[in-house]
Amino acid sequence: MLGLDFINQTIALNPSPISDSIKNLDLSKIDFLILNEIEGQEISGEKSPNRILDHLLSNYSFLKIVLTLGTNGVIYKDNVQEHKQEAYNVKAKSTTAAGDTFLGYFLSMISQKHDVKFALTIASKAASLAVSRKGADY
C-alpha cells in the first residue's frame, strides 16, 4: 500500500538549459529555484543579481532562490533570510560539471536537514574541487 509521503515532498527546479517553456512556467509549485545569472536574467528580465532575486520574490514570495554567480560565488534568498557564499579561489581546468556538482551537493545537504549556510559552503567547496580537475569535456 502506498503511503502519503509524497504530500510533504520538496520540489527543486534547475532551469537548465533555459527555454521559452521554462521562462513561462508557473513557479507556484516550486520550493527551491536554483539557477545561474543567465537563467535568472532570462526568467526575470533583470540584469543584476539583487534585481533578479527581488523580481522573483516579488512574484513568488514563498520561493527559496539559489542564484549562482560563477567566480563571484552564490546568493541564497527567501522571504526571511539571505546568505552569500564567496567562491573558492582555485585554478579551473574545466567548468563543465560545476553547476551540476553544486546542485547535487546543495540539495543533498538540504535533504539531510542541514541549514542553508552550511549547504552553500559544502556545495561551493564541491564545485571548486570539480572545476579544479579535468571534467566531462575531456
Estimate to the nearest angstrom the gap between the alpha carbon of 136 and the chain centroid: 20
> How many domains would you assign to the chain?
1
In a domain, 76, yes or no: yes
- Cell triple for 68: 549562482
Domain membership of residue 77 (yes or no) is yes
At 14 the three-state DSSP class reads coil
Q: What is the pLDDT of residues 113-129, one digit of tens each?
A: 999 999 999 999 999 99
Query: Is residue 18 situated within a structural domain?
Result: yes
Phi, psi of 13, rounded to the nearest 5 degrees: -120, 130
Residue 97: Cβ within 10 Å count: 16
The answer to the question of residue 138 being in a domain is no
**Three-class DSSP category at 47:** coil
> What's the CATH number where 31 sits?
3.40.1190.20
Residues carrying an active site annotation: 100
Give residue-wise pLDDT tens across range 75-114. Answer: 999 999 999 999 999 898 888 888 999 999 999 999 999 9
Edge-to-edge order in the sheet of strand 32-36: 12-13, 32-36, 64-68, 74-77, 82-85
The pTM of this model reads 0.89
* Whether pLDDT at 132 is above 80: yes
- Whole-number CA gyration radius for the chain: 15
Q: Give the range of the structural domain holding residue 124, as residue numbers without chain letter.
A: 5-131
Let me know: does 93 contact 80? Beta carbons within 8 Å.
Answer: no
Position 53 scores a pLDDT of 98
In a domain, residue 137? The reply is: no
pLDDT tens sequence across 32-85: 999 999 999 999 999 999 999 999 999 999 999 999 998 899 999 999 999 999
Q: Which residue has the higher pLDDT, 115 or 25?
A: 115
- Domain-located, residue 37: yes
- Residue 11 in any domain: the answer is yes
